[in-house]
Structure 1
Amino acid sequence: MSTIGALGAEAPATPDADEARRAATKELSREIYQDHPDLWDRFWQWILDLLDTQSLVPGVPPWVSTAIVVTISAAVIALLILLTTRLTSARRVRTAPLSVFTDDRDAATLTRAADEAAERADFATAVVERFRAIIRSLDEHGVIDEYPGMTALEAAALTHQSLGEHPVVAPLYEAAHLFDAVLYGRVVSTRTQDQQMRELAEQVAQVTVPVDRQDALVGAPVTLPGAPA
């Protein structure tokens, strides 16, 4: 037999697909391929190492180590809550009060918008639009002089200056605070609040400036108390 024929006889036959798959499976099952944890395993082990209180404070009993870790964690959480609260309060303080009006609709148009919103149970819009209608009505009847950028509390303060201790003043301050709270999203308006605003609108519709106070209003400065004195 020739040399080439001998080499050909000794060469292994090419494995078919099933044999190749079995060989690959057998190779991958070797222990050398099982010694390397995947990314999730390494991450989980890192978490467990962090929670191992004995390794965090070596040389002390486990319960002492645990107590130290719990105390520090509680202090950090409390500090984060305090900082978050102060930052939130600071942002609220820095936020400029919102203007009452964003357009020139008259009181009747604003009232219709409030009624339509209430019919579809959109009480946030109803409360906001009806308060605007109330303030616009006070302007139209000469009780106050509306100006660009006027806030809800400024409108209430002007009404207080104009009407003195009129029964409508105190609920108007409350309505002004509600108006701001709704616009800032701090409260969810309800049907009850809509009804309160309707009642206030009815009271305001009957208001006129007392004759004995008309002269005193000329040149009177605007003050912004949180509520009428």
Structure 2
Amino acid sequence: MKETTHLTNDLQVELDKIGSTVRLKTENNSFIKMNYKDWAGAIVNSRFIEVSTYVGLNDKHLQLEERGIIACNSYTNDIVEIATIIDKWLGKQLDIFQLAEQHKSIKINKTYQDLKTLSVDEILKHRWKYFSEEIAKGTLCFKLDVFEEFRKHFYHLYPTFSHDNLIFSNVIEQINDDFKSPIVFCDKDVIWIGFFKDNSEEEGEKTFKTKDIKQAIEMTKKLLPKGKHKIINPWTN
């Protein structure tokens, strides 16, 4: 198992040895200031990889992404294996399931796996259930009874949380800028619905506070984009 002194340079050497077409980013072709001694990255089409080392850890972290979604994480100290995986993912464009069969270090990200294997309805059902469980555990600061009532009315939309704020999208795993969703936040017994959490005059009429769940649901319906929305799986649409 070969030790690395400069991660990007050493990985590129291994890629070149196996005849890979992949070219890692370097200081010369990047506008971002990075420590390429401890980090390596490359992008081909919609796929991206990054490799990083951490002080005090022998294993290197390899992450594979597609369309901005993490496909897998892998931890290994074998730089030859890392180069081989990178070549298969970016150069040969193998799918993640083939890679996982060939490399035991690869752990497929569940979200990515669901996108590839489940129907939209199944993904939505799992997503809402997951957040219910997280709220019940106290991981998310949101009232469970409010969330469950919202679930009954908005089960057809893709929910996500940002800093304990509930937001909806019509694209799985992505916030769609063309689908303007209000923010829903629970502060003890008060439910807040709006687009910005401030007192701006422009958005003042679109901000609503209530202790009544039914009113909160009606206001959310009013602020969401009109019409029947098809939920998009970015891999199948």
- TM exceeding 0.5: no
Taking CA–CA contacts closer than 8 Å with sequence separation of 6 or more, which of the two structures ends up with the larger relative contact order? 1
TM-score (norm. length: structure 2): 0.25
TM-score (norm. length: structure 1): 0.25
